[in-house]
């Protein structure tokens, strides 16, 4: 088990990243808080050492994504209308970014992860493949289709994404 | 447009309230003993698996140790019976080497008994008594590790004295056990065969299989080999006469 200080440091370091993952996966802030805390609980209980910071970050990302998916596996949660999230966006995010976030949130789940990991975290298709446990070609394909859907929603040049 | 996604997500922050609540949540977990215990299953599981494996190995080895025959007592008249004994001198298996032997041991509770008690049970059985006539010879042949040989021989000699029949005990080494079994003979009959074949190399184990011990003994005697040796006293009890021949050791009891 990791020390309490290690976990506190990780909360400070990765809180925003985990929040992003919870945000684009989950339907409301209560769900997000549950999963958010569980991610760091898993980190606390994970005993194997990390090779470096990048390894640690990728591990937390993978755990956060999987935790969200597990949480959504509940049929009732999966079918809830994400009204609260949209309302939260309205409250937290400036007008000019709201449309982009809403477009990302409306993507099918399989595209959300690759779009976030690539465009926000800056991971390559190979790295995303490792984090998500998918083949590189599958990641390229998901990125391409996700980009196309976003373009349709937001307009603009697809290649410019 | 890629920058737009980046900028949009930059507006989503984990607020200090969420961070604080998470730190509090984690802090509480450190005091949760049940969680700590629950996290040990990997170690506990490994430990349990190792323990189970050790118990199984010990159990199997213990079973084999107790069940492996280390000594044999062959009881031959015409019925030919062999007791296999474990390290504790208890019967682990009983084998009849002819139909008469099968008839004798049928329904006799011998397994698990100490060998002296098993001998009594066999010799005192009604079926065995049919074969224990005035002219018959009851021969006990013992094949045991040297550490057990003397003890078992003493026990057999004591039982010989109680049978009230013309009996004889022979000790031999365990080396002949496998050969005897390969020939389908008890070690007693095989030992007698080895003696007889010295004088008549036309005799076969099949021939001996169909002969009673008294018949084999008569043939040996007929070839001039004195197996009776009742006149030779070389240190046995005053009631018994013994012969020592190499590592083989014969004693007659009446």
Q: Read off the pLDDT of residues A41-74 as tens digits, 9 standing for 90 and up.
A: 999 989 888 999 999 999 999 999 999 988 887 6
Q: Give me the mean pLDDT over the B224-241 stretch.
A: 37
Q: Does B26 touch chain A (CB under 8 A)?
A: yes
CB atoms within 10 A of CB B250: 22
* Run of H or E residues at B172: strand B167-172
Following DSSP, what letter does each residue of B27-94 receive, concatenated? HHHHT-HHHHHHTTHHHHHHHHHHHHHHHHHHHHHHHHHHHS--EEEEEESSSEEEEEE-TTSBEEEE
Q: Give me the mean pLDDT over the B127-132 stretch.
A: 88
**Best interface-test mutation with B: which of A37, A39, A153, A155 has the largest number of B CBs within 10 A?**
A37
Contact between residue B227 and residue B195 where contact means Cβ atoms under 8 Å apart: yes
C-alpha distances in Å from residue A47, one per residue of A62, A81, A138, B5, B88: 16, 37, 31, 35, 51
Q: Give me the mean pLDDT over the B214-238 stretch.
A: 57
Q: What are phi and psi of B242, to 5 degrees?
A: -130, 160
For the cut 70, the answer to whether the pLDDT of residue B236 exceeds it is: no
* Range name among A116-125, A127-136, B222-231 with the lowest pLDDT average: B222-231
**% of residues, chain B, pLDDT over 90:** 25
Q: Does B30 touch chain A (CB under 8 A)?
A: yes
For the cut 70, the answer to whether the pLDDT of residue B237 exceeds it is: no
* C-alpha span between B170 and B150 (Å, rounded): 11
Q: Which residues of A touch B26 (CB under 8 A)?
A: 4, 7-8, 11, 37, 40-41, 44
Say what the pLDDT of residue B243 is: 32
Say what the pLDDT of residue B238 is: 30
B39/A19 Cβ within 8 A: no
DSSP state, residue A106: T
The 3 state secondary structure assigned to B182-250 is HCCCCHHHHHHHHHHHCCCCCCCHHHHHCCCHHHHHHHHHHCCCCCCCCCCCCCCCCCCEEEEECCEEE
* Range name among B4-8, B159-163, B172-176 with the lowest pLDDT average: B159-163
First-to-last C-alpha distance (Å) of chain A: 41
A19/B13 Cβ within 8 A: yes
* C-alpha span between A89 and A10 (Å, rounded): 25
Q: Give me the mean pLDDT over the A87-93 stretch.
A: 66
Q: Give me the mean pLDDT over the B32-55 stretch.
A: 76
Q: Would you call A141 helix, strand, or coil by DSSP?
A: helix
Closest by Cβ to A97, choosing from B8, B21, B23: B8
Closest by Cβ to B30, choosing from A4, A11, A15: A4
Q: How many CB pairs under 8 A join A and B?
A: 88
* Range name among A149-153, B138-142, B159-163 with the lowest pLDDT average: B159-163
Contact between residue B143 and residue B191 where contact means Cβ atoms under 8 Å apart: no
* pLDDT mean across residues, chain A: 84
* pLDDT tens per residue, range B70-91: 999 999 988 999 999 998 899 9
- Dihedral of CA atoms A50, A15, A75, A130 in degrees, nearest 10, equals -30
Q: Where are the beta strands (DSSP E) in A38-160?
A: none
Say what the pLDDT of residue A85 is: 58
* C-alpha span between B185 and B139 (Å, rounded): 14
For the cut 80, the answer to whether the pLDDT of residue B1 exceeds it is: no
Q: What are phi and psi of B90, to 5 degrees?
A: -105, 150
Say what the pLDDT of residue A56 is: 94
Q: Give me the mean pLDDT over the B186-212 stretch.
A: 88
Closest by Cβ to B5, choosing from A8, A11, A104: A104
Based on its alpha-carbon atoms, the radius of gyration of chain B, rounded to whole angstroms, reads 35
Distance of residue A161 Cα from the nearest chain B Cα, in angstroms: 4
For the cut 80, the answer to whether the pLDDT of residue B248 exceeds it is: no
Q: Give me the mean pLDDT over the B169-189 stretch.
A: 88
Buried b (16+ CB within 10 A) or exposed e, A48-87: eeeeeeeebbbbbbbbbbbbbeebbeeeeeeebeeebbbe
Kindly give, in sequence order, each residue whose CB lies less than 8 Å from that of residue B27, ignoring residues fewer than 6 positions away: A4
* C-alpha span between B60 and B226 (Å, rounded): 48
Contact between residue A40 and residue A86 where contact means Cβ atoms under 8 Å apart: no
* C-alpha span between A56 and B219 (Å, rounded): 91
Say what the pLDDT of residue A84 is: 58
Say what the pLDDT of residue B163 is: 64
B15: left (phi over 0), alpha (psi -120 to 50) or beta: beta
For the cut 70, the answer to whether the pLDDT of residue B105 exceeds it is: yes
Instruction: Compute the Cα dihedral for B209, B211, B213, B215 and give only its sign.
Output: negative
Q: Give me the mean pLDDT over the B124-148 stretch.
A: 86
Q: Does B43 touch chain A (CB under 8 A)?
A: no
Q: Residue B115 — pLDDT band, cuts 50, 70, 90?
A: very high
Q: Which of B30-34, B43-47, B112-116 has the highest mean pLDDT?
A: B112-116
């Amino acid at each position: 088990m990791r020390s309490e200080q290690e976990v506190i440091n990780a909360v400070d370091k990765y809180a925003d990243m985990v929040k992003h993952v919870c945000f684009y996966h989950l339907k409301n802030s209560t769900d997000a808080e549950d999963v958010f805390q569980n991610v760091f609980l898993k980190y606390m209980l994970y005993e194997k050492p990390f090779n470096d910071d990048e390894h640690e970050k990728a591990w937390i990302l993978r755990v956060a994504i999987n935790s969200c998916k597990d949480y959504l596996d509940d049929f009732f949660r999966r079918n809830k209308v994400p009204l609260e999230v949209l309302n939260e966006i309205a409250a937290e995010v400036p007008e000019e970014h709201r449309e982009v976030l809403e477009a990302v949130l409306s993507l099918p789940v399989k595209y959300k992860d690759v779009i976030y990991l690539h465009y926000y975290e800056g991971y390559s298709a190979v790295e995303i493949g490792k984090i998500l446990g998918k083949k590189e070609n599958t990641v390229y394909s998901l990125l391409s289709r996700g980009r196309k859907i976003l373009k349709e929603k937001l307009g603009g040049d697809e290649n410019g994404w | 447009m890629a920058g737009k996604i980046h900028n949009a997500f930059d507006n989503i922050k984990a607020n200090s309230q969420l961070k604080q609540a998470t730190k509090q949540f984690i802090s509480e977990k450190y005091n949760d003993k049940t969680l700590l215990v629950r996290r040990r299953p990997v170690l506990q599981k490994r430990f349990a698996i190792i323990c189970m494996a050790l118990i199984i190995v010990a159990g199997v080895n213990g079973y084999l140790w107790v069940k492996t025959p280390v000594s044999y007592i062959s009881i031959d008249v015409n019925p030919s019976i062999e007791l296999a004994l474990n390290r504790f001198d208890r019967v682990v298996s009983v084998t009849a080497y002819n139909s008469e032997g099968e008839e004798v041991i049928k329904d006799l509770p011998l397994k698990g008994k100490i060998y002296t008690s098993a001998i009594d049970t066999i010799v005192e059985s009604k079926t065995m008594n049919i074969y224990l006539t005035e002219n018959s010879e009851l021969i006990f042949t013992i094949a045991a590790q040297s550490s057990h040989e003397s003890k078992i021989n003493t026990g057999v000699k004591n039982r010989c004295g109680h049978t009230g029949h013309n009996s004889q005990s022979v000790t031999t080494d365990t080396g002949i056990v496998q050969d005897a079994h390969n020939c389908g003979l008890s070690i007693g009959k095989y030992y007698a065969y080895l003696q007889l074949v010295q004088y008549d190399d036309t005799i076969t184990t099949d021939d001996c299989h169909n002969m009673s011990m008294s018949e084999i003994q008569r043939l040996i005697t007929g070839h001039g080999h004195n197996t009776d040796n009742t006149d030779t006293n070389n240190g046995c009890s005053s009631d018994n006469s013994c012969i020592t021949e190499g590592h083989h050791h014969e004693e007659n009891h009446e």
